[in-house]
Amino acid sequence: MSISGQKISWKDEYRGAASRVRTHGRSAASTPEVRAYLRARCRAHHQRGTPRTQLSEYVEGLATTGFSPTRLAELAALPEPEPQDWEVGESLAEVLLADLEGAVFHWSTQWDRRSATAILTGPDIVGFQRTDTGVRFLFGEVKTSSDKSVPPQVVYGDDGLRNQLVELLTKAERRAYLMQWLQTRARGTNYEADYRAALLAYLSPQSTAMIVGVLLRECAADSKDLSYVEDRVRKCPGSFDVLLLAFYLPIPITTWPDVMLGKDGPP
């Protein structure tokens, strides 16, 4: 898998049988490859979503209109908070979904923050998936865990991966809010066509969408990590496809922010 000059060589650890619910666990053995991927691909995706990046790009355009470049630059010089490891995990999950599963994220949820420390609620993954037959909505959750238990604690409880995916599969109003959120951002943009196609696919008699759960770990692969979730979501009625992914990486999760920002030393 080559991405912008970076490559992660994945090893398939386990796969579920082909069906409406698909499971797939992959591990990466090369620490240099993962570090390079975090520093290049993941960092670019994460910074694209930061308000400071957006304002800086806007300021650069205004600087040619006669306004004071110095005053404008002051607006774009606001400090960004240091990313948390779970935030890096969400960015990493999105780029992996884009590179491996045809996901498209036109709008960063970070743009909806009203303060630097705001924590947004709701599903982590809101976007589209391009398939051989068209475009459909992609909704899901991301869990990043350094827990050594199998499965890790993040799959349990009210806020665990299992329950969150069940809610997406069984509660139409939860999906409706996400579609409304996307619609207000798609109107008049160059991805309004994607939204229209995904909405028509959702409203069709064969109603299709992709519900995805991503688990990011720093330990050895084990199919039990996803089996607890898989057993429950298989019982959910409906026609939506479900994709359960686990990625096992050789870098401690607590170091991901420094690695992504290049603070851990030379590449």
Measured distance CA(189)–CA(185) in Å, rounded = 8
Coil/strand/helix, residue 206: coil
Task: Name residue 211's beta-bridge partners.
Answer: 139, 242
- Bridge partner residues of 231 (DSSP): none
* Residue 263: per-residue pLDDT: 84
Mean pLDDT, 10 residues at a time, the chain of 267 residues:
63 90 96 94 78 56 59 61 88 95 83 51 87 95 95 93 96 94 89 96 95 97 95 93 97 95 75
Using CB atoms within 10 A of its CB, is residue 71 exposed (0-12), middle (13-18) or buried (19+)?
A: exposed
Supply the pTM of this predicted model.
0.86
CA gap 257, 73 in Å, rounded: 26
Whole-number Cα distances in Å, 240 to 10, 53, 139, 170, 206: 27, 35, 11, 10, 9
d(CA 38, CA 247): 14
Instruction: Quote the Cα angle for 262-40-8, to 5°.
Output: 115
Q: Identify the pLDDT of residue 2.
A: 37
